Structure 1
Amino acid sequence: MPLTFGTAGVRAPMGPGPERMNAGTVALVATAVARHVRTQEPAGSTVIVGGDARHGSAGFVDVVAAVLTAHGLVVVVPGSPVPTPVIAAAVRSRGAVAGLMVTASHNPATDNGIKVYGPDGAQIVPPTDSHIEQHLRTAEREGVGVPETGATGARVDPTLIDDYVDSVVAGLPAPARPPRVALTPVHGVGGEICRRVLAGIGVDDVTLVPGQERPDPDFPTVESPNPERPATTLRLRGVAEEIGADVALALDPDADRCAVGYRAPDGRWRMLDGDDTGGLLADHLLTTPLPGSVRASGSRSGVPVVASTIVSSRLPSLLVPARGGRHVETLTGFKWLVRAADPLLYAYEEAIGHCVLPRVVADKDGISAAGAWCAMVGSAGRSVGAGLDALAEEFGAHLRHNVAHPLVPGADPDAALRRAAERLGSTGTVTPLDGTDGVRVAVPGARAVIRPSGTEPLLKSYVEAWTTPRPSRSDREDAGRRLTALADRVAAAITS
């Protein structure tokens, strides 16, 4: 099956054939984007194009640049591998009409892909994606070939990186007590740029994890370059322990996501999930605004908005109004989060994606999130563990259990979802999600969201249970039992 253009682009294993990433399919995708852009914008309009350090990325950038140039567009490239947020920021700062980033984010080393940004610097949404898909199918029928890439005509502008660093540094405060940091880019492209940003706000004591500090498209020290997985951050936690760090940070390979670790009360280093990180950052950003943020600019900008998704914790719905903000829940994906409402202060997703400077990067950005986290830890006057305890005291403890449930080969995820919903009807109240495939299951003191993956034959479940404020130990244990019971029922409904 040929590559299908999704809501932000394409991603697939590399190799020959129409269903994989190769020079031919990249040329088709670039042609589709170029034709769409030219229906909206005149010749001579600027498009920003970049890529990470994955296998094939440099060559794919050349192919994209050659195609766009042939369609009368001015292509600007950074001239070296860059994090995804650099391209997203440059689209907006340079007044470009689009941006294309060659990356497969945290996918395995065998994959690559292309993300597409609109003139607002955000990932594209309908109907733009369907228009590009139509152009893609037409280009396939026409048999569009791979252009000559020896002289693409692209303009190399390495100051795209400098401008990004300067903008992020300008948007972050210097912590009162700069923390000691252990950092890994997990063999990706974010390490040095993140270190520059941290240095710009006065955080100079940064140790990169040996063996993972430089880009390597094979990701040789990890089974998966996804920092959500505990094994991926094992070396990071070891370095944090060794150097007596205050903060542990893990970027994914294109540096648009950031996982953070802390020393737990038992002395061990643990990584927070996206919801714990999001709750702490939301609390901090609403009470201690970043320079130039909508909160810092005063009431004239309106009530500040914090956005999270339908699969994220319910905590922000309690916390944000209590801090004078407005909480908005969106569909999954930053293409929706950054468009939640104005004025947007902060957006996050449970999959360790954070947008802390929406005026600079209208997308998730692991590097600016790392800087905001260091500023918070260095100025909070309390430990991360104490911050988590304080949120539980005020809003109740929130326990989560998120699982991907593989389906049998050839199974239809939509049919599996319908069967699971029917089986869960006796468990609690089952309602369909608005605007997307999936269901929500509600029982007293707990809830679950189940939705198809969209890219793999599996269903994802997001189960949460909670306590009342000021929970006792027995309250937490009761919530844990509710969590386990609902998670087990969901798993049985999906797999039986």
Structure 2
Amino acid sequence: VLAFAVRHLGAVAGVEVTASHNPPRDNGYKVYLGDGSQIVPPADAEIAAEIAAVRSLADVPRPGSGWEVLDDSVLDAYLTRAETVLAPGSPRTARTVYTALHGVGTEVVLAAFARAGFPAPVLVAEQAEPDPAFPTVAFPNPEEPGAMDLAFATARRAEPDLVIANDPDADRCAVAVRDPSRGGSGDGTGDGSDGGGWRMLRGDEVGALLAAHLADRGVTGTFAESIVSSSLLGRIARKAGVGHEQTLTGFKWIARVEGLRYGYEEALGYCVDPDGVRDKDGVTAALLVTELASVLKERGRTLPDLLDDLAVEHGLHATDQLSVRVQDLGVIAGAMARLRKSPPASLAGLAVVRAEDLAEGSDDLPPTDGLRYTLDGARVIVRPSGTEPKLKCYLEVVVPVASRDTLPAARQAAAERLVALKRDF
């Protein structure tokens, strides 16, 4: 809503105080500039220098007047705009379970779904109201083990078509689908791998589904993604005859792609209306994925069915991530230094055909602290997280699929290769 408001009101900047999807002690803020996208260098360093120069809050001049407190009109304008991401007259029948993960999404999502004419989402009651302590989760991030347990428990009672989650500031959108192979104990406990009949879709899977849906609707413009996201988007874009670009990680870069029509990154971020919100937006993404589920439902199909179609058409693109959370950031710096000094010659039995130090920059990308390894049928990117004390390894393997009958074998091969890549790294 803030990213929308900056452009809607013609503001020069916007500031959002947020813990985002991090632990409550990691409170922070986001800054948007006049075009509605997040700051990039050198503005970030200039702001940091101003902060560092402050000795005491008492030294910071604050005007006693000149403020205007906005009413709900800006939210109403956002909701009116959000509804335009849907195709006029499209089916609106899919039933959802929704969790805000103790964040601010519930009120806005309920209003957006009501305006669009979808069935009212069934709320995960324990997580529906804002609570800065995030009491039911270790980390309020749908990707973290256990974060979706209560949502899956609610889904087993409500039997919806899909489960949707936002992170606490509602810019990320997670989606889960039925998966009978994960029947499990049904108690909603554990490490998050057993959804009791439900499976979280990976960010790359949702990114491909939304791209395929928009392409099917005949949109024009450029589809963009971060370099750590799946290469499947490029294949979908080429088939649709639209542009495709890759950027550095983060929507501060994706949002700046010229002619952007759709952008996503694997960390559950999707920009489906860049002219309205030039950032990832978990509310409009939730609307669009529910529209897609409704379209498929009318045809007796599901989101996993469409993923199968994409695998048969473009090859199975399987992704995974290896993350190492640290207390001492020096551990990350040491690991990156070792990899730069002694890059691997092979991984998972595959020769590394190209090793790139992204810190050197290229014609397509500015310099960034990262390493990219290209293998025959696989890719690995290693980088420090920009928002958490983590070292992240992004893995992708691509397995050709001859027909729908060969999909199970392709999935098995991809899973084994991803396990091997994780093991070697």
Tell me the TM-score normalized by structure 1: 0.74
Deviation, structure 1 residue 243: 1.3
Q: Percent identity?
A: 41
Task: Name the structure 2 match of 1:4.
Answer: none
Is the aligned partner of 1:170 residue 2:90? no
Deviation, structure 1 residue 148: 7.1
Deviation, structure 1 residue 407: 5.2
CA distance in 2 between partners of 1:119 and 1:487 (Å): 41
- Aligned residue among 343, 357, 378 for 1:432: 357
CA distance in 2 between partners of 1:207 and 1:249 (Å): 10
Task: Name the structure 1 match of 2:50.
Answer: 135
Task: Name the structure 1 match of 2:409.
Answer: 474
- Aligned residue among 336, 348, 371 for 2:264: 348
CA distance in 1 between partners of 2:331 and 2:58 (Å): 33
Going from structure 1 to structure 2, the CA distance change for 1:333 and 1:212 (only over 3 Å counts) comes to same
CA distance in 1 between partners of 2:125 and 2:27 (Å): 25
- Aligned residue among 160, 163, 170 for 1:248: 163
2:103–2:167 Cα contact (<8 Å) kept:
yes
Task: Name the structure 1 match of 2:192.
Answer: none
CA distance in 2 between partners of 1:478 and 1:187 (Å): 38
Deviation, structure 1 residue 235: 1.2
Task: Name the structure 1 match of 2:394.
Answer: 462
Task: Name the structure 2 match of 1:156.
Answer: 70
- Paired letter, 1:274: G
Going from structure 1 to structure 2, the CA distance change for 1:143 and 1:238 (only over 3 Å counts) comes to closer
- Paired letter, 1:176: P
Task: Name the structure 2 match of 1:414.
Answer: 333
1:354–1:369 Cα contact (<8 Å) kept:
yes
The runs of 5 or more residues in structure 2 that have no matched partner are 184-196, 347-351, 362-366
Task: Name the structure 1 match of 2:211.
Answer: 282
Deviation, structure 1 residue 187: 1.1
Task: Name the structure 1 match of 2:288.
Answer: 372
SS of residue paired to 1:448: strand
SS of residue paired to 2:235: helix
Larger of the two Rg values belongs to structure: 1
Task: Name the structure 2 match of 1:398.
Answer: 317
2:95–2:118 Cα contact (<8 Å) kept:
yes
Deviation, structure 1 residue 385: 1.1
Task: Name the structure 1 match of 2:419.
Answer: 484
Alignment of 1:16-95 (within 5 A): 86-95=1-10
CA RMSD of aligned residues (A): 2.2
Task: Name the structure 2 match of 1:71.
Answer: none
CA distance in 2 between partners of 1:346 and 1:308 (Å): 9
2:204–2:319 Cα contact (<8 Å) kept:
no
CA distance in 2 between partners of 1:340 and 1:470 (Å): 35
Deviation, structure 1 residue 438: 0.9
Going from structure 1 to structure 2, the CA distance change for 1:409 and 1:111 (only over 3 Å counts) comes to closer
SS of residue paired to 2:323: strand
1:446–1:483 Cα contact (<8 Å) kept:
no
1:247–1:261 Cα contact (<8 Å) kept:
yes
2:356–2:371 Cα contact (<8 Å) kept:
yes
- Paired letter, 1:172: L
Going from structure 1 to structure 2, the CA distance change for 1:142 and 1:229 (only over 3 Å counts) comes to closer
Task: Name the structure 2 match of 1:336.
Answer: 253
Q: Deviations over 1:350-396 (max 9, x none)?
A: 00011111111011100010001111111133211101111110111
1:345–1:356 Cα contact (<8 Å) kept:
yes
SS of residue paired to 1:183: strand
Task: Name the structure 2 match of 1:258.
Answer: 173
1:184–1:209 Cα contact (<8 Å) kept:
yes
- Aligned residue among 208, 215, 223 for 2:138: 223
CA distance in 2 between partners of 1:420 and 1:407 (Å): 18
CA distance in 2 between partners of 1:116 and 1:214 (Å): 25
- Paired letter, 2:207: G
Deviation, structure 1 residue 114: 1.4
- Paired letter, 1:222: V
SS of residue paired to 1:286: helix
- Paired letter, 1:277: V
Q: Deviations over 1:212-257 (max 9, x none)?
A: 1111112222222111124111111121221120121001111111
- Paired letter, 2:328: P
Q: Deviations over 1:40-82 (max 9, x none)?
A: xxxxxxxxxxxxxxxxxxxxxxxxxxxxxxxxxxxxxxxxxxx
SS of residue paired to 1:157: coil
- Paired letter, 1:352: L
1:330–1:337 Cα contact (<8 Å) kept:
yes
Going from structure 1 to structure 2, the CA distance change for 1:130 and 1:142 (only over 3 Å counts) comes to same
Task: Name the structure 2 match of 1:193.
Answer: 108
Tell me the TM-score normalized by structure 2: 0.86
Going from structure 1 to structure 2, the CA distance change for 1:469 and 1:422 (only over 3 Å counts) comes to farther
Task: Name the structure 2 match of 1:81.
Answer: none
Going from structure 1 to structure 2, the CA distance change for 1:141 and 1:259 (only over 3 Å counts) comes to same
SS of residue paired to 1:482: helix
1:186–1:213 Cα contact (<8 Å) kept:
yes
Going from structure 1 to structure 2, the CA distance change for 1:467 and 1:164 (only over 3 Å counts) comes to same
Is the aligned partner of 1:232 residue 2:147? yes
